[in-house]
Amino acid sequence: MKERIHSDSAPKAIGPYSQAMKVGKMLYMSGQIPLNPETMTLVENDIRIQTQRVLKNMAAVLDAAGASFESVVKTTVLLKDMNDFKTFNEEYAKSFPPEKNPPARTTFQVAGLPLNALVEIEAIAVLP
């Protein structure tokens, strides 16, 4: 049985999808882009600021599911420019510190992201 997870503290879906779906103890989170949930506009065009916003959006969805960053077992990261990799990692590590068993991760450079965002992250988590 699947259950839709939604948080008003994260951006509404900008298409026909849910923020996340819970199936048993698994949570499948849609890709989060750096939208401000109050204005539904992208934050500043800076990889550091956009990564911070994406992580805040992820935290809100995880919280709505009764989970946290520690529950995440896999992320997929989409970057518009792989030259942003180092700066992205600095911000990402604040939510997924290396010493706390960070999740498995795949990172891709892509030709474009929704609304011309610089970063998008999707996640899979095991719920407590």
Paired tokens of 19: 């923020």
* CA gap 43, 35 in Å, rounded: 6
* CA gap 98, 30 in Å, rounded: 24
Q: What domain range is 11 assigned to? A: 2-126
* CA gap 118, 106 in Å, rounded: 16
Query: For 16-44, what is each residue's pLDDT tens digit?
Result: 999 999 999 999 999 999 999 999 999 99
- Which pLDDT score, from 0 to 100, does residue 14 have? 87
As for how many domains the chain has, the answer is: 1
Nearest CA to 62 among 121, 1, 111, 108?
121
State whether the Cα torsion 12-67-106-55 is positive or negative.
positive
Query: For 62-74, what is each residue's pLDDT tens digit?
Result: 999 999 999 999 9
State whether the Cα torsion 122-17-25-10 is positive or negative.
positive
**What is the CATH classification number for the domain harbouring 21?**
3.30.1330.40
**What is the rounded average pLDDT of the residues 7-23?**
96
Burial state string for 68-94 with b = 16 or more CB within 10 A and e = fewer than 16:
ebbbbeebebbbbeeebeeebeebbee
The whole-model pTM stands at: 0.96
